[in-house]
Structures are given as C-alpha cells and as structure tokens.
Structure 1
Amino acid sequence: MKAVFFDIDGTLIEGTHPDYRYMRENVQKAIRKLQEQGHYVFIASGRSLAFLDEKIRNFGFDGYVLLNGSVIFFHDKIIYRAPLEKSFVEKITSICDEHDMQYSLQGDFHTYVDKKFEYLIYRLGQYGIFADQLTFDYDKKAIDVYKLEIDSPRHEDRKYIIENLPEDMTYVEDMNHNYCHLEVYAKENSKATGALKVLELLNIDIKDSYAFGDGDNDIEILSTVGMGMAMANGSVKARNSAKIVVPSVFEDGVAYGIERYILSK
C-alpha cells in the first residue's frame, strides 16, 4: 500500500492556461490506476478547501493536506487543524490596512476577503477562483485563520510584512512585474508535516510515499517522502529538492511519474 500526494497549481493543473485548468485525461487515468490497486491519493496544496475546483473535489481523492499542512481532511473529516494566533492575524492585517495591501484570510472551509479588495478578487479570477468561492461577510475576530495571502502592486510592501513576522512564522513569495504576492503561515506546519501525519494515520512506511510538486512550498514534502518528483516547470529549489524531475504539467508529467516510478514497481 502506498500514499501519493499531489500539489495542484503547476502540477496537476496550470490554472492560468485555459487548456490545463483541469486534470488532463492521462493524469486522471493514472491516478485512478493507483486507487484501483489499493493505494491512497491525497491533494497537498497551499489552497484552502474553498479554493479547490469543484471537479477536483468531486474526483474522489482520499483526502487533502491543505493550507500548507495546517488543515488535513481524510474522507471529508478534519483530522488535524492548527489555526494561527488571533493576535498575530490582527497585527499583520493591521499592517496591510495601513499600507493599502490586500489580503485573504484562509479558513478550514471558507476563504474570507473584504469585498473592497477588487484587485485581489480580479487576480484570483485569473487563476479560476471566483467570487462564489469567497466569503465576504465575516467577523475577523470570530474566525479561525490558518494562512494569509497578501497582494500588493508595490514590491517594497513585502518588507513591512517580512520585518514583522515572528520567529515561528514563515512565508513564500511570488514576485513579478505586476505585483508581489506573499503566503504567510506557521513554520510548524508544512505539506511535509501533513504528509507524515497521514502516513502515521494509515500506517504506511515513508518508503512507500510519493509526492509531486513544482513550487517552493513543495520543497519540504519533496525532500521528506520516499520519492519526491518535481515538475520540469517547477522552481529551481523544488527541482533540487526532489529525487526525480518528471516532464512538465504541459506534458502530463504526473501521469508519466505515476506510470514510470510507482505503478511499474
């Protein structure tokens, strides 16, 4: 029995490309073969449950390691959750408000966004995440937050966040010519810690675990599981952390990796 963990963006799909916004047929068939042989398949994503496409949620994965390991679902039940301290969330969002940065608050079932954050809402739409997946009416003090995502068109804004992160918090960033994007979450949780909790639950040896990923938030899981496989389109750090580099998301690299390195064993 094996457990296989899949990142979403840049791995199973390429959300900004219309032809790759959902898993391609070859990828779906390969994952189904894993299940037919009695293996477990999990999503391992920085996304919240609200940000999972309905087709992925209905595909039949055995569970989800979400929000970089801070929430874990197994057969639709939460088996682990680790919300951030409310005082920290208040501090960081206050800094964002002072500097006109826009942010989403990622919960276990919902993602909370202020409706006045038009830029953020537009950018999410470019990745196939639309308004009906967002919760606009909320009390910040009453909700549990597991991860913050912060956007700004000014690259210098990132320093205000990074300089105010306590030792127990970390971040990944995406910088391009249009905006800076930061994901902020607790160091104690990662996709790797989530995968280890799943392996313990299912009594699966780590040598029988596999992961596919492409981004910097996949580094830990790719270097922790029995065999980490990075996509050819992945970041340099992700590819250096993996044991194998498989073809890109545009070449059905996940299907190749499953057939070549898991099903063939």
Structure 2
Amino acid sequence: MKAVFFDVDGTLIEGTHPDYRYIRPKVSEAIRKLQKQGHYVFIASGRSYAFLDEKIRNFGFDGFVLLNGAVIYFHDKIIYRAPLDKKFVHNLCDVCKSHAMEYTLQGEKDAYVDKNFTYLIDRLNQYGIFKQQLQLEYNLDDIVVYKMEIDSPHHEDRKYIINNLPENMTFVEDMNHNYCHIEVYAKNNSKATGALKVLELLNIDKKDSFFFGDGDNDVEILSEIGLGMAMANGSVKARNSAKIVVPSVFEDGVAYGIERYILGK
C-alpha cells in the first residue's frame, strides 16, 4: 500500500494556461491506475478548499492536505485543523490596510476577500478563481483563518509583511515585474507535517510515500517524503530539494513519474 501526494499549481495543472487548467487525460489515467491498485492519492496544496477547482474536488482523491498542512481532509472529514491566532490575523490585516495591500483570508471551506480589493479579485480570476468562489462580505471577528495571502503591485511592500511576522510564523513569496505575492502561515505546519499525519493515520511506512511538487512551499515535503519528485518547471529550491526531477507540467510529468517510479517498481 502506497500514499501519493500531489501539489496542484504547476504540478497537476498550470492555472494561467487555458490548455492546462484541468488535469490532463494522461495524468488522470495514471492516477486512476494508482487507485485501481489500491493506493491512496491525496492533494497536498497551499490552496484552500474554496480555491480548488470543482473537477479536482470531485475527482475522487482520498483526501486533501490544504493550506500548507493547516487543514487535513480524509474522505470528506476534517481530521486535523490548526487555525491562526486571531490577534495575529487582526494585526496583520491592519498592517496590510495601512500600506494599501490586498489580502485573502482562508478558512476550512471558504476564502474571504474584501469586495473592494479589485486588484486581487482580478488577479485571482486570471488563475481560474472566480468571484463566486469568494466570500466578499464577512466580519473578521466571526471567521477562523488558517492562512493569509497578500498581494501588492509594489515590491517594497513585502518588507512591511516580513518585519511584522512573529517567530512562530513563516512565509513564501512570488515576485515578478507585475506584483508581489506572499503566503503567510504557521511555522509548525507544512505540507510535510500534513503528509506525515496522513501516513500515521493510514499506517503507511514513509518509504512507501511519494510527492509531486514544484514550488518553494514544497521544499519540506520533497525532502521529507519517501520519494519527492519535482517538476522540471519547478523553482530552483524545489528541484534542489527533490530526489528526482520529472518532466514539466506541460509534458505530463506527473504521469511519467507515476509510471516510472511508482507503478514501475
């Protein structure tokens, strides 16, 4: 019995490319082969449940390690949750507002975005995350937050976020010429800690675990899991942390990795 974990963006799909916005047939077929042989398949993503495309939610995965390990679903039941401290969330929201940065607050099932954050809403739309997937009206005191994502068109804004993070929090960032994007979450949660909790639940040895990923938030799990495989399109940190580099998402690299390194054994 094996457990195989998959990142979403840049691994199973490439959200900005219309031909790769959904799981490709070759990749889907390979995952189905794993299931037919009795192996477990899990999503392990920084995304919230609200940000998962309906086709991924309904694909038939055994569970989801979401929000960088802060929430774990197994067969539609939450088996682990680790929300952020409410005072920290309030303080970071205040920092963002004082510097005109827009942010997403992510809960177990819902993602919360201020209706006036038009820059952020438009950017999410480019990744296939649409208004109907967002809660635009909310009271901060009434929601439970597991991760924050902060966006700004001004790169210098990042220092205000980093300088205001307490020691028990961490971040990953994505910077290009158009915007700065930062994910903020608790240090003691990651995709790796989430995957290890799943292995313990299922009584599966770590040597029988596998992961496919591409980003900086995959570094821990790529090095911790039995066999971590990075996509050729992945970040330098991800590729350096993996035991194997498989072809890119545009070359159905997940299917290649399943066939050669899991089913081929």
TM-score range, shorter chain: over 0.9
Structure 1 residue aligned with 2:217: 217
Match of 1:123 in 2: 123
Aligned position for 1:172: 172
Q: Match for 1:27: what amino acid? A: V
Could you say what the CA RMSD is over the residues aligned between the two structures, in angstroms? 0.4
What SS does structure 2 have at the residue aligned with 1:141? helix
Deviation at 1:237, TM superposition (A): 0.4
- Cα distance in 1, alignment partners of residues 139 and 202 from structure 2: 37
Task: Tell me the amino acid that sits aligned with residue 150 of structure 1.
Answer: I
Q: Which residue of 1 aligns with 2:143?
A: 143
Q: Which whole-Å CA distance do the structure 2 matches of 1:225 and 1:203 have between them? A: 14
Q: Segments of 4+ in structure 1 off by > 4 A?
A: none
Q: Distance in 1 between matches of 2:168 and 2:99?
A: 23
CA positional deviation for 1:231: 0.1
Task: Write the distance in 2 (CA, Å) between the matches of 1:107 and 1:205.
Answer: 31
Q: CA deviation at 1:137?
A: 1.5
Asked if 1:109 corresponds to 2:91, the answer is: no
Residue identity over aligned pairs, in percent, reads: 78
Per-residue CA distance 1:144-181 (angstroms, 9 max, x = gap) = 10000000011000000100100000000000011100
- Counterpart CA distance in 2 for 1:16 and 1:184 is 22
Q: In structure 2, what is the Cα distance between the partners aligned to 1:263 and 1:254? A: 12
- 2:234 maps to 234
Q: What is the CA distance between 1:142 and its match in structure 2? A: 1.3
- How far, CA to CA, are the matches of 1:128 and 1:38 in structure 2? 32
Counterpart amino acid of residue 171 in structure 1: F
Q: Which runs of 5+ in 1 are unaligned?
A: none
Pairing 1:9–2:9 present: yes
Aligned equivalents of 1:138 and 1:83: distance in 2?
Answer: 17
SS in 2 for 1:195: helix
CA distance in 2, matches of 1:223, 1:83: 25
SS at match of 1:122: helix
Describe the superposition over 1:92-114 as per-residue Cα deviations: whole angstroms up to 9, x where unpaired.
00000011000000000000000
Kindly provide the CA deviation profile for residues 38-74 of structure 1, in whole angstroms up to 9, marking residues without a partner as x.
Answer: 0000000000000000000110000000000000000
1:150 and 1:122 map into 2 onto residues whose CA distance is: 14
Structure 1 equivalent of residue 27 of structure 2: 27
Aligned length: 265
**AA in 2 matched with 1:158:** R
- 2:19 partner amino acid: D
User: Which amino acid is 1:43 matched to?
Assistant: I
In 2, Cα distance between equivalents of 1:173 and 1:90: 21
Q: Does 1:92 align with 2:92?
A: yes
Describe the SS at the equivalent of 2:47. Answer: coil
1:66 to 2:66 alignment = yes
Which residue does 1:40 correspond to in 2?
40
Match of 1:257 in 2: 257
